Chain A
Amino acid sequence: MSKFIHLALALAAAGIFFGGCSAISPKVGPEQDASTGCASSSSSSPYGGYPSSTAAGDAGACAPVQDPRCAADAGYEEGDCDRCEDTSCCAQRFTCYDDPACFNADEDLDTCVEDAKASDAGDEDAARAACWSTFTDLPGPLAKNLRDCEAQHCKDVCEVP
């Protein structure tokens, strides 16, 4: 039954777009390592796939892909913490930013930490730790990866508890 539904969905969608031309048939290359952008040696694509060299360039196929947003003049650096992130946690930072939930959680973290600093309620360290705890409670690995990287490389400038 479910195969029938899948087939019906695919056929109907293809029919809507005038017979299933390539404009509605997206293609992908082989599965790649999330942290480097390199093709995984064990992966295969159901579409036959593309050699990783065609996707990422011959020389750079298995070199880490540096996000252009991490460049100093890309407009994403407003302080020492941003600069440290771009230098040491580039992939973790922008992988988080590219995920809507992680992006929103990161914005909430910034607001929460600012409020903790501005508050006269007392223990700023505890309040800041609570902000980070909320951030890393986000389901999935993105927030945790960013926090771990910052704790390892940018602990002081990013005030990671």
Chain B
Amino acid sequence: MHFATLALAFFAVVLTGCPDAKTEGLDPNALPESQRADYAIFAERCSKCHSLSRPLNAGITDDAYWAMYVARMRRQPGSGISESDEVAVLRFLHYYSSEQKDAVQRKNKDVVDTIADGGAP
């Protein structure tokens, strides 16, 4: 009986899902046209050994560190990340981390503005 309950709960989550959830990767259609080709290479290469959440949520914003990080991944056995792929991946990660930084700054500014206006944060 306890197993049936677990199974029902499991499939309820699967079927209902979360309507506004972020999925493992990004929606290519939501990216600027100029980034889609680089993202395709990033998604193709970086999902071979691990989920895309690893790099997307790594929290790295420094280009120099991304360069070392991606070089380390490129050298993994069977990575399939060639040197030309590395350039495209780094271009996309630069764009992505810049967007992440801007989003944080916008959020912080909103909080400061709200407090300055006398409202609750």
Decide if A and B touch, CB cutoff 8 A: no
Residues of A whose CB lies within 8 Å of any CB of B are none
Residues of B whose CB lies within 8 Å of any CB of A are none
